[in-house]
């Protein structure tokens, strides 16, 4: 008998197919069929709260497709499972991958250049009664800014690249849902996160050797970048976060964990809060501001340790809370570089 989680994956097949083909009419039909009319949809900045599936079609996807008529939405992670934890409810689907297309027209004031671009996305969907009733999504919009030739944020410590899917080639989970396997994977991540948050700026390696494979990969959003191995994660991520932030609290108990085979997903929206009190965080001078952090994370567990971690942070919203208007910076750069052109 097909589990509810395998059924939910099947329900999303028409929507995934339409988004892969990039036809605007097909995408609109698929969105209207897949989403409940009153679905709660929350996207990254500048979209923020979206007023149902019609708004998702008209305000979000229509301008993107106008800018990139050959758009393809290529999933490299597709998983599903129940919200993990005693007394928790809800069935979720997680998708991660890259949009690919040619930027023929300006998009979100990012100037067009007529060249191919890619943009990573993480999207979590809650399904009830055969319809999507909740969606959380972060798109790596700064990645498109960078490919357009502009860098309006501080220099990142990690490397920048088109993020790959799971190394074992099993990111699109086709095996029947296995509750024991999912529980085992989530528990490893849960224990790791609780141990990791005990560390501080003086002990940035805490939890790495025990829970992370020595050749692990950490794929971060543009603005942070990606890292490899214990030393890479320590130097690119942990040091800067711990030196630059105080009262850094991650909402693990309030967040949503779910697993499928060796994959684990987590969302909190916001997933944490912190005070920007020291040097090092994102290369910005301390502002003293308290801010919330949105992130949608995937992990892959291999032989009891974490081999890969995909982290998507809403960098534009984070910068906004710290008093930096990334779009204004980009517009200033584009005006300087192309004074006779005005981005639409």
Answer whether residue 244 shows pLDDT above 50. Answer: yes
15 or 194, higher pLDDT: 15
Residue 113: inside a domain = yes
Residue 205 sits in the same domain as residue 314: yes
CATH label of the domain that carries residue 43: 3.10.450.50
Residue 100: inside a domain = yes
Answer whether residue 342 shows pLDDT above 60. Answer: no
291-315 pLDDT per residue, tens: 999 999 999 999 999 999 999 999 9
Residue 183 sits in the same domain as residue 325: yes
List the domain range (segments joined by +) for residue 11: 4-147
User: What local confidence, expressed as pLDDT, does residue 337 receive?
Assistant: 65
pTM across the whole model: 0.94
User: Which residues partner with 140 through β-bridges?
Assistant: none
DSSP single-letter state for residue 189:
H
Residue 131 sits in the same domain as residue 209: no
Answer whether residue 340 shows pLDDT above 70. Answer: no
Residue 91 sits in the same domain as residue 212: no
Average pLDDT over residues 143-160: 91
Quote the tokens at residue 230: 């214990």
Cis omega (within 30 of 0) for bond into 46: yes
Instruction: Please state, in angstroms and rounded to a whole number, the distance separating the CA atoms of residues 244 and 195.
Output: 20
Average pLDDT over residues 257-267: 98
Contacts of 176 (CB under 8 A, 6+ apart): 2, 3, 6
Residue 336: inside a domain = no
User: What local confidence, expressed as pLDDT, does residue 201 receive?
Assistant: 59
User: What local confidence, expressed as pLDDT, does residue 103 receive?
Assistant: 98
């Amino acid at each position: 008998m097909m589990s509810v989680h395998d059924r939910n994956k099947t329900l999303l097949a028409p929507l995934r197919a339409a988004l892969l083909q990039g036809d605007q009419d097909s995408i609109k039909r698929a969105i209207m069929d897949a989403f409940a009319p009153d679905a709660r949809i929350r996207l990254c900045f500048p979209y923020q709260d979206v007023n149902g599936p019609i708004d998702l079609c008209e305000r979000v996807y229509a301008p993107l497709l106008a800018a990139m008529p050959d758009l393809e939405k290529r999933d490299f992670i597709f998983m599903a499972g129940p919200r993990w934890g005693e007394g928790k409810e809800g069935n979720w689907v997680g998708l991660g991958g890259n949009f690919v297309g040619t930027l023929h027209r300006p998009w979100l004031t990012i100037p067009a250049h007529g060249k191919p671009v890619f943009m990573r996305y993480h999207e979590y969907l809650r399904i009830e009664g055969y319809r999507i009733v909740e969606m959380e999504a972060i798109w790596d919009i700064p990645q498109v800014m960078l490919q357009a030739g502009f860098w309006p944020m501080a220099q990142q410590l990690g490397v920048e690249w088109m993020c790959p899917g799971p190394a074992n080639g099993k990111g699109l989970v086709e095996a029947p849902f296995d509750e024991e396997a999912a529980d085992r994977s989530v528990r490893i991540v849960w224990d790791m996160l609780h141990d990791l948050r005990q560390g501080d700026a003086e002990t940035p390696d805490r939890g790495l050797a025990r829970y992370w494979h020595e050749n692990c990969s950490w794929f971060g959003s543009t603005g942070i970048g990606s890292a490899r191995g214990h030393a890479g994660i320590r130097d690119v991520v942990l040091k800067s976060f711990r030196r630059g932030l105080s009262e850094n609290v991650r909402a693990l108990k309030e967040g949503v964990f779910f697993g499928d085979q060796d994959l684990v997903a987590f969302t909190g929206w916001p997933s944490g809060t912190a005070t920007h009190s020291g040097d090092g965080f994102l290369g910005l001078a301390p502002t003293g501001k308290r801010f919330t952090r949105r992130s949608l994370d995937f992990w892959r567990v291999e032989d009891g340790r974490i081999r890969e971690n995909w982290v998507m942070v809403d960098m534009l919203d984070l910068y906004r809370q710290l008093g930096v208007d990334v779009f204004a910076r980009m517009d200033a750069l584009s005006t300087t570089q192309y004074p006779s052109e005005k981005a639409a």
